Structure formats: C-alpha cells, structure tokens
Structure 1
Amino acid sequence: MSAWKSSSFIQDSRKLPVDPQDLDFFKTVPSLQQWLGNPHYSVVGTSARIPRDDGENDLFAITLKTTSTIPKWLLVVRDEAVDPRPDRRDEPPNGSADKPDIILLVNLEQGTNGFKAVAHGGLLSALLDETLSYCVEFARQRRYEAREHLFTANLNIDFRQPVVTPGVAVIKSWVTKVEGRKYWLSGQIEGVEGHVCVQVKGLWISARPGKI
C-alpha cells in the first residue's frame, strides 16, 4: 500500500484510476448492485494493482494480474467509514457483515486453484490480509494518528466452504474495535449469492512513533 504516510492518503486513494473494464465486468453481476449502486459506497482505485520500481505490490500488480489468475479487481468503500470527520474521530466502529467498511471484488480464474475448481487457501489468506490492511489503514487515517508502520499481529481464518473457480468472490472487512495503537477487524469471503465461504478475525498494531 503506497503513500500510507501521506496526510492525504484517503484523498489520494479516491484519485487513483479505476479500470473501467473491471467496473463494467462487476456491474454485470446482479447481486453486486447492492454495493455498486449504493449511494453510501464508492468505488476507488487501489495501489496494490499498480507496479512500482522498488518491487512493492508485485504480487497483486504483476504475478496475480493475469488472465488466468485475478484479471478483474475492484475496491468499494463505505464513505462514512473512510472519510475524515474530525468531529467523529472517536466514535466506536459501526461496520458489520451487512454494512462492511471495505469490499474487495475479485474475479478468480483457474490459475488460482489449489484443488480442481477451488481457489487455494493460501491465496485466499493473502486476499484477506490485503483487504483488512486497506480497511485498517483507512480507519487509522481517519483518526489522524502519526503515520507509523502497521503490522498484522494476528489472523485467525476459518475455512467453511470452498471458493469455487472460475468465479467472483466478495471480500468484506470492517473494524470492530480500536484501542490505542491496536485495531481489531473482522472479515469474510462470500460467493456472489451471499453464502459465506471464509471468515477471519485479525489484529493490527501501529508501531510506536519513531520506533521504526
């Protein structure tokens, strides 16, 4: 995730380009209109799909950005959860599975398989980590904290059903608790019909100012 130390991270994210072909692809899925047509949610660009000279983002920007792996990718954010509001910075999180803070839509092709027609669990874990990382960074930026490194301290993943390929997966994330430099999050991967395939709970910790 680039530019995370910038005080304009949220504004910059909204300025990143959104691939119109990706948007058009997901608009063809009727069940996704509850998010893509929702006035409380916005589509934003993601730095994870933009290659950098220093090698950052290569996993999702190069290795997994092919016609046989994850050709389509779209990030949707709940405006209330990500936009800076100084008068509401200390309000407790109010996201949920029905009102997620972040939604990542991905088109998983055969190149992501572990077993036949089933996405690899390690890949799904990486996608969850990426989605929750965006979610916690937006939450932290909204609180106007010092921009120190954020670390994934824990991910507890429960695989309930296979994620079938080829197909579209809906990855949701929301902050459940904030305490000092610690952020607790929940998330899940759903099929386009809404069935829950994978659930996750995670803890992120922001480094102490000046330590790293």
Structure 2
Amino acid sequence: MADHPDFQSLPWAKRLLSDPNLTIIPEVPETDRQGMAPNTMFNTILYQPGAINAHVSFRRPCTEPDAPRGDEQCMLLSVGHNVDGMVGRAHGGFNSLILDQLCGGAAYHAVPNAIPPATATLTVDYKAPVSTPCVVLARAWMTEIAGRKLWVRGVLEDGEGKVLASGKALFIAGRSSVL
C-alpha cells in the first residue's frame, strides 16, 4: 500500500515513506492459526473504499522526549467520506478508534505476548477537525512501563505536523507477559 497513488501524489507522504529508518509492518493475516479473523472492525469494515482507502503501518525512531523506548508505531491513512460524522469531517469516534488501535499496537510491540494488551483508559483531546477526504499520519509511542501497566501517547496529524487529535492511554498487558 505504500505505493498507493493517494500517498505517492503527496510530497510529504512520499518523503515519509522513503525514509530508510522506517520498518514497514506487514499486514495482519485474514485469519489466525485457529481460523479466527483478528481485528474484524478494520479488516472487514474500515479497510474499504470510501472509508480507509489505503493504509500503511510502520515503525521508526521516535524523537518525542517522553519516549524511553526510542521507537514509535505509525500508520499513514488515506481517509474517505464514509467515516464522516458530518459532511466533510471525520467522526470523532473514528479519531479515537485510530488512536486506540495505534496505541495498542505500540503497547503490544513494547511487551509482545500471545495475549494482546487491553485498553484500560484512553483520553482523547480533539485539536482540529479531520477534513475528509484526506491523508493523515497517526503516531504512538510508549511513555512508561510498570509491571503490567503500559502507558502510551499518540497523535493524529496532518502532513504539516499539525496535531488534529492527541491521546493518552493506559493498557494492561496479558498475565502471561514476561516483563
């Protein structure tokens, strides 16, 4: 998806995806080993033309001062009108959903486990509307780990780095985690 026209037509997105310091995260398979479909909300509902037209997930070094682990989980999204809460504006719940998904990915990457971490709290601050259609960048990074508690921050921003929404989350790692 990194070569999708929505990304290649925007200089900032093309530049971002050509960074040699990023590592593309492979797509989640349609089904897991037990034949279950993981993340069905994204895979069957949102990853559709008109909603999330294209997406690419990656990790890269994080420059945020509160990121002790040094990397961040990112997702570049081409967003269509089918996520609108009102015409031309993404629903606030969509912004929260993206931040929850990405923050959860950052927590999982920090503490890999057969049991993914669960969201305990997520606080979202809406800074500016997400005007659709658009291409946005979502980023999330670990800020603290204490036992099974994983604190994560995330942002949804436009191509100029303007923060559209920010979030702080607490995830709880599965009991079988080795910390």
> After TM superposition, is the score higher than 0.5?
yes
| Partner amino acid, structure 2, of 1:113 | D
- With the length of structure 2 as denominator, give the TM-score of the two structures: 0.84
User: Which among 5, 8, 12 is matched to residue 31 of structure 1?
Assistant: 12
| Partner amino acid, structure 1, of 2:20 | P
User: Which among 63, 69, 83 is matched to residue 51 of structure 2?
Assistant: 69
1:93 and 2:68 are equivalent in the alignment: yes
- Match for residue 86 of structure 1? none
- Match for residue 159 of structure 1? 126
Structure 1 residue runs without a partner (length 5+): 1-18, 81-91
- Match for residue 189 of structure 1? 156
- With the length of structure 1 as denominator, give the TM-score of the two structures: 0.72
Q: Structure 1 residues 20 and 186 mapped into 2: Cα distance closer, same or farther (>3 Å)?
A: closer
User: How far has the Cα of 1:117 moved from its partner?
Assistant: 0.4
What count of residue pairs does the alignment treat as equivalent? 171
- Match for residue 46 of structure 1? 27
Instruction: Tell me, in whole angstroms, the C-alpha distance in 1 between the residues paired with 2:10 and 2:26.
Output: 20
User: How far has the Cα of 1:149 moved from its partner?
Assistant: 4.1
Instruction: Tell me, in whole angstroms, the C-alpha distance in 2 between the residues paired with 1:186 and 1:60.
Output: 21
Instruction: Tell me, in whole angstroms, the C-alpha distance in 1 between the residues paired with 2:14 and 2:2.
Output: 16
Secondary structure of the 1:104 match is strand
| Partner amino acid, structure 2, of 1:43 | I
1:129 and 2:129 are equivalent in the alignment: no
More strand by share: 2
User: How far has the Cα of 1:46 moved from its partner?
Assistant: 2.7
Contact 1:36 1:42 in 2 (8 A): no
Contact 1:36 1:43 in 2 (8 A): no
- Give CA-to-partner distance per residue, 1:5-34, whole Å, 9 cap, x none: xxxxxxxxxxxxxx3643x54233211245
User: Which among 18, 26, 41 is matched to residue 59 of structure 1?
Assistant: 41
What is the identity percentage for the equivalent residue pairs of Structure 1 and Structure 2?
26
Secondary structure of the 1:114 match is strand
What root-mean-square deviation, in Å, do the aligned CA atoms of Structure 1 and Structure 2 show? 2.4
Q: Structure 1 residues 28 and 76 mapped into 2: Cα distance closer, same or farther (>3 Å)?
A: farther
| Partner amino acid, structure 2, of 1:152 | T
User: How far has the Cα of 1:43 moved from its partner?
Assistant: 1.9
User: How far has the Cα of 1:79 moved from its partner?
Assistant: 6.2
Instruction: Tell me, in whole angstroms, the C-alpha distance in 2 between the residues paired with 1:79 and 1:157.
Output: 24
Contact 2:118 2:172 in 1 (8 A): yes
Q: Structure 1 residues 33 and 55 mapped into 2: Cα distance closer, same or farther (>3 Å)?
A: closer
| Partner amino acid, structure 1, of 2:144 | K
Q: Structure 1 residues 139 and 34 mapped into 2: Cα distance closer, same or farther (>3 Å)?
A: farther
Q: Structure 1 residues 39 and 112 mapped into 2: Cα distance closer, same or farther (>3 Å)?
A: same
Superposed, 1:99-178 pairs within 5 Å as 101-141=72-112, 147-178=114-145
More helix by share: 1
Contact 1:170 1:190 in 2 (8 A): yes
